[in-house]
A = this chain, B = another copy of it.
Amino acid sequence: MASGSTTGNIFKITTWGESHGKAIGVVVDGCPAGLSLCEEDIQIFLDRRKPGQSKFTTQRKEEDTVEILSGVFEGKTTGTPISMMIRNKDQRSKDYGNIAEIYRPGHADYTFDEKFGFRDYRGGGRSSARETAARVAAGAVAVKVLNELSIDIFAYTKSIGEICCKEEAFDRSFIGQNHLFMPDAEAVTKAEQYLNEMIEEQDSAGGVIECQIHGMPAGIGEPVFDKLSARLAGAVFSIGAVKGFEIGEGFHASKMNGSVHNDSFYYDEKGRLCKETNHAGGILGGMSDGSPIVFRAAFKPTPSIGSTQKTVNKSGENVETVIKGRHDPIVVPRAVVVVEAMAAITVLDLLLTSMTSRMDLVKDFFEGKR
């Protein structure tokens, strides 16, 4: 059983589909009515995670063309569920070798078998990174709503292996101009060199993605279990290969002193409440504090590597295996838009939820409707 394919309270998404099944897709429920939306809006996001963009990503020839099946009428969302589907084209019958029989190290083969008794082993089935395309489609809708509310969200590759982008070299416009989605040209050069080494050595690398959200009103997040921080952590950690998540100073905060970590409040010349620093990453008491939300996710190295590995088969034997085919040396660049999507979905759900928090605003709302 798994009813874990739905998430969100008001802005609610349900994903479905296996890597080599007929299609993958998502149903987005709870999107406010009247938002302009077309397939091109979604396609732009899907293209950012499209395979085959560089030598570092899989050469699978998927066009990943999205089809909106419901919930949009005359170019606008109707408030009813938006169903989106992406047909799997690279679905040809092929030799899956012994993949059905062995448990690949670092993969979900064994755990799926334990849970469900068997699994769709073709291309990783439901545990394939391909599943995230559905999240990206839903995220594209969420981002569109956030933009309408003047909220800006973006993610980028912060580090690959030991190579980390420098704060002082941060150039947002550069993120979209390189296939590693890094904001620092020098880091890109180094990372490419490192990844070439990985390819040569039939090995793989991990990395860190940072996401920032600007323009959030303060007070978003629902104490005590649906705090913005908690919901972001859960949403981002649901992406395969994520092994760490932190907000603001994150793990480094555990080594700081309170006198340094505390962000002082002040009113600027226009009377707006500001913070002198943002060690908190824009979240206090689990709610947005009006500063930019800043968080990072750590991705493990791709488990599919070309070299021979020791493992087991289902017949109870210890074996050696070589995973066939060409392998991405890293998943991080393609995961950037996935992190952004999950953050957008989460933030939007909590924004909508926040509308009912105050009696005076609720009253104003319904009086405005009379």
Bound: A83/B5 CA distance, A: 11
Considering the complex, give the chain B residue whose CB is closest to the CB of A370.
Answer: B217
Cβ contact within 8 Å between A357 and B116: yes
Bound: A201/B295 CA distance, A: 30
Cβ contact within 8 Å between A106 and B287: no
Of B205, B236, B361, which one neighbours A365 at CB under 8 angstroms?
Answer: B361
Number of copies: 4
Cβ contact within 8 Å between B238 and A224: yes
- Say what secondary structure dominates the interface of chain A: mixed
Cβ contact within 8 Å between B70 and A21: yes
Cβ contact within 8 Å between A80 and B125: yes
Chain B hits for A10, CB < 8 A: 1, 3, 353, 356
Considering the complex, give the chain B residue whose CB is closest to the CB of A351.
Answer: B366
* A54 at the binding interface (Cβ < 8 Å): no
Cβ contact within 8 Å between B242 and A244: no
* A85 at the binding interface (Cβ < 8 Å): yes
* A94 at the binding interface (Cβ < 8 Å): no
Considering the complex, give the chain B residue whose CB is closest to the CB of A71.
Answer: B16
Of B82, B250, B355, B360, which one neighbours A117 at CB under 8 angstroms?
Answer: B360
Of B79, B198, B206, which one neighbours A253 at CB under 8 angstroms?
Answer: B206
Q: Mark A299-343, 1 if CB is under 8 A from B, else 0.
A: 111111101011110001110000000000000000000000000
Considering the complex, give the chain B residue whose CB is closest to the CB of A36.
Answer: B359
Of B21, B116, B127, B224, which one neighbours A33 at CB under 8 angstroms?
Answer: B116
Cβ contact within 8 Å between B227 and A237: yes
| Stretch among A55-63, A165-173, A261-269 lining the B interface | A261-269
Query: From residue A251, how far is it (CB to closest CB) to chain B in Å?
Result: 4
* A44 at the binding interface (Cβ < 8 Å): no
* A211 at the binding interface (Cβ < 8 Å): no
A318-B5 in contact given A70-B24, A245-B233 (Cβ < 8 Å): no
Chain B hits for A70, CB < 8 A: 16-18, 21-25
Cβ contact within 8 Å between A2 and B285: no
* A208 at the binding interface (Cβ < 8 Å): yes
* A50 at the binding interface (Cβ < 8 Å): no
* A177 at the binding interface (Cβ < 8 Å): no
* A184 at the binding interface (Cβ < 8 Å): no
Chain B hits for A1, CB < 8 A: 10, 30-33, 79, 222, 352-358
Query: From residue A249, how far is it (CB to closest CB) to chain B in Å?
Result: 6
Of B2, B78, B238, B289, which one neighbours A126 at CB under 8 angstroms?
Answer: B78
A-B contact pairs, 8 of them (CB 8 A): A2-B80, A14-B27, A23-B83, A217-B370, A227-B237, A243-B248, A243-B281, A253-B301
| Known A4-B227, A112-B285, A265-B312; further 12 A-B contacts with Cβ < 8 A | A1-B79, A14-B14, A16-B71, A27-B27, A33-B116, A34-B358, A73-B122, A224-B238, A225-B234, A265-B310, A265-B311, A267-B316
